[in-house]
Amino acid sequence: MDFLSELGIKASNGEVNDPSEVANSGAYCGEWLETSGSFLESRNPATGEVIAYVKQATSAEYEQVMEAAVEAFDRWRSVPAPARGEVVRKIGNAIREKKDALGRLITLEMGKILQEGWGEVQEAIDIADFAVGQSRMLYGLSMHSERPAHAMREQWHPLGSVGIITAFNFPMAVWAWNAALAYVCGDACVWKPSSSTPLCGIGLTNVVRPVLEEEGFGALASLCIGSGREVGQAMLEDKRMPLISFTGSTGVGRRVGATVAERFGRTILELGGNNAVVLMEDADLDIAIPSIVFGAVGTAGQRCTSTRRVLVHESIADDVEERLKSAYGQVQIGDPSEESTLCGPLVDAGAIEDMDKAIESVQAEGGELIYGGGKATGEGLPEGGHYVTPAIVRAENHYETVQEETFAPVLYIIRIRDLDDAIAKHNGVPQGLSSSMFTMNMRYAEQFLSATGSDCGIANVNIGTSGAEIGGAFGGEKETGGGRESGSDSWKAYMRRQTNTVNYSTELPLAQGIQFG
């Protein structure tokens, strides 16, 4: 695993009894700090073995990190936006040079297959390229005043130090979505990665920080690895952090939103998804089936955009079930570092338990397991790995288990009668992230994309629920949280809006024609 040392990570090599001998620091703010928290183990979900140790940050180190980020922001906001974009261009190039190593690190620590690990790093590269162009397009408005000899305009200014709290399933890309835009907008970033994937945070920081250090702004890429109680809560309550971008569960997201709102801070919340593919009677199944399989099985069902439900027209339901079972039977489960593997492990043993409970619960409600389920075993699968067999369950949309998100490869097959039934069932869940319809009927498609169709933040036709491009804003509605990351006009979340009026006359007319004096 030479790529670990290439990324500046000290590995345990499976031989260390005293973690303090090889522990990685959990805090960076222009320099790596000597952290004083407890040791965190990073484990390989494919084998269960310890990869490396991280000495976590405490509230004391968090304060050092935050002070450095605020100081860096105070200087960075005065740098012209196109010049900030040039620095982001260099960051993107630095990530591009280490794409292979970073992708392999994602595979090692998170369990994504190599193709998806590399793909995630490519997302980080793509959003950097996008942000470079955006640095010259932070447009305001010019407006006509109702008062004579007055000029009105609207402009955007840097916001502050942005807190980024990421989940294990996209341990690099989500930081990049936020950070690339935040940097061109003039902000600093403080990153708290998931405790399940701390090395991804350290590795990416080690790639990015030399670029920023050379410019004198290392603390723009501040990193703080610590417990939710000690570091996470401090971020939520910190008035010096005007924006928190949080990716995680709906349950935790509720607390994040309430805590930050109490101090009048802003949030971007990327929470649960219960994403459905609608198959109308005229769906092209030759493209629909592979799309569903990738959406449901890719990343072992651990994407927020993973396909959880297939709403299939009753006239083709039997055919679809047989095709899916056949396709699932061809999915290679195994070591995610092997390029032939299509389904790697779940992140930990707890995820396997959650999957088992979901299957048991939906069966108790009347669902029928028609394929897979349970821990995967077989030649080449290490005993300590968290492997499962992707499951297909025939179910009803109103089942309580179907209404919830299970972060594992469990796919529910639900029959529909017509378009109205499809849309009602599609929207009949608490979440609203990603959605898809397969049809050749223009009226079906346009209805699905209309105001009375899908209620999700993302709606697709003839492609699946998973695999968003960085050019479009990413996010959802309802219990998915709210706010948008990545492309489009998402940059506005990282800036503050200001309306200006200039009087260039010798009079003082008041708005609304008010006479005073």
Torsion, Cα of 249, 252, 257, 262 (10° steps): 180
Integer Cα distance of 20 and 145 in angstroms: 65
Q: Which is the catalytic residue, given 116, 120, 230, 270?
A: 270
- Beta strand residue intervals within 132-264, DSSP E: 141-144, 150-158, 161-165, 188-192, 221-224, 243-247
Integer Cα distance of 189 and 73 in angstroms: 9
Q: Which residues contact 194 (CB under 8 A, 6 or more apart)?
A: 166, 167, 168, 171
Q: Is 224 a catalytic residue?
A: no
Integer Cα distance of 222 and 182 in angstroms: 13
> With contact defined as beta carbons under 8 Å apart, do 130 and 180 qualify?
yes
Closest CA to 332 of 115, 101, 178: 115
DSSP string for residues in 467-486: ---TTSEE--EETTEE--EE
Vertex 332, ends 51 and 273: CA angle to 5°?
A: 75
Q: Which is the catalytic residue, given 29, 189, 224, 304?
A: 304
Q: Which residues contact 182 (CB under 8 A, 6 or more apart)?
A: 162, 188, 189, 494
Within 10 angstroms of residue 190's Cβ, the number of other Cβ atoms is 28
- Beta strand residue intervals within 349-446, DSSP E: 368-371, 391-394, 410-416, 431-432, 434-438
Return phi, psi of residue 100, to 5°. Answer: -65, -50
Q: Is 270 a catalytic residue?
A: yes
DSSP state of 299: G
Write out the catalytic residue numbers: 270, 304
